[in-house]
Amino acid sequence: MMDSAGASSKRSDEKSLESGGHNHKNHFFHLVLRISLLFLAVVPACLVLYHSLNSFQFFPNSLYNPSASSQDSARGIISSLAKDDPALVRVLKEAAMTDKTVIITTLNEAWAAPNSIFELFIRSFGIGNQTQGLLNHLLVVALDQTAYARCLALHKYCYTLNTPDIDFSSEAHFMSTDYLKMMWRRIDFLRSVLDIGYNFIFTDNDIMWLRDPFPRFYPDADFQIACDHFFGDSFDLNNWPNGGFNYVKSSKRTIEFYKFWYDSRDKYPGKHDQDVLNMIKFDPFIREIGLQIRFLDTAYFGGFCEPSKDLNLVCTMHANCCVGLDNKIHDLTILLEDWRKYMSSPTNKSATPESSWSPRRCR
């Protein structure tokens, strides 16, 4: 039997257990409440962050980093100089067509000399089929003061693109350090033109304009580019693009594409813009921003790599696959003479194309 003291102790223990259980329940309740409040506070913030990040979903983490891009001070300074330059804004407005499209070429001292590439380039517009009027929409971007002076002597729309601490006046041999700098400077400048709101056709000086190319452009493409080799399908990403001739429409897609293209030079050091384009054209980034790329048929936009085979169709001919300024001048001079003969012939529509091109050094 339990005495009174034992019974009292038992009742006390039971009360303590009951009190302890109650305290545990209170503790558990408060813990659940705190977690619930924390969850309610964190979830909305996470949703805001998610939607903020989702608005930049077309920037792949592997290649495009907005914070890293902002740290590229050289590009930022150069681009802002171009975009904010009232002289550039003015000359773009003066040279542009009604739909804000401008034809752009770049020029340095080596290619601007008398009897050099630039004179042949300008001459081609004069003897081309319905190309004379296009000179009114050509903007020549001079990379040095000598080239700028030469441009003013031959053409009315000239702009000097200054690049701090870089001299682009001499001939830049293919894949040399100066050549790579020049090519990437060009990409960054063209991005700024898109950013200002202008469409452009970019053309190298060593491309002869023989016909109006506009009827041969694709109306639905954001970015269309000539080829060193064309495999028959304008949508085929395996075509070999040539950065010397492209038609680009200004839009958010093309601006972001040019930023991506320029920034990708860091991922592929020592490569020029054309090689890098060949690599990034397959990148998921292109699909994510919805960029429509088309490749131009060499039947209309040919070159020495793959000549246009019908003089009745050709619009432009490029001295690609040809090394050396003298070789380019030699063969382009002959090419223009071939074109003159074709245009003056009363039977030019029955010309046999293979025998019509007679350049030799570049072949």
Q: Which token pair is 198?
A: 């202008």
pLDDT at 184: 81
Number of domains in the chain: 1
Whether 3 is covered by a domain: the verdict is no
Q: How many C-alpha atoms does 361 have within 13 Å on its Cβ side?
A: 15
pLDDT at 126: 96
Sheet containing 293-295: which strands, arranged edge to edge? Answer: 158-160, 138-142, 101-107, 199-203, 240-248, 223-229, 293-295
pLDDT at 50: 43
Whether 46 is covered by a domain: the verdict is no
Strand partners, 316: 209, 301
Whether 19 is covered by a domain: the verdict is no
Q: What is the pLDDT of residues 127-154, one digit of tens each?
A: 999 999 999 999 999 988 999 999 999 9
pLDDT at 139: 98
Which residue has 């075509």 as its token pair? 239
pLDDT at 193: 97
Whether 10 is covered by a domain: the verdict is no
Which pairing describes strands 158-160 and 138-142: parallel, antiparallel, or unpaired?
A: parallel
Whether 27 is covered by a domain: the verdict is no
**Whole-angstrom Cα Rg for the chain:** 32
Whether 331 is covered by a domain: the verdict is yes
pLDDT at 136: 98
pTM beyond 0.85, yes or no: no
pLDDT at 38: 54
pLDDT at 34: 60
Q: Which residues of the chain have pLDDT under 70?
A: 1-83, 163-180, 347-356, 363
The answer to whether the beta carbons of residues 203 and 105 sit under 8 Å apart is yes
Whether 159 is covered by a domain: the verdict is yes
Whether 6 is covered by a domain: the verdict is no
CATH number of the domain enclosing 214: 3.90.550.10
Q: 314: buried, middle or exposed (CB in 10 Å: 19+, 13-18, 0-12)?
A: buried
Residue-range definition of the domain harbouring residue 337: 66-355
Which residue has 């010397």 as its token pair? 244
Residue 86 and residue 202: Cα distance in Å, rounded? 21
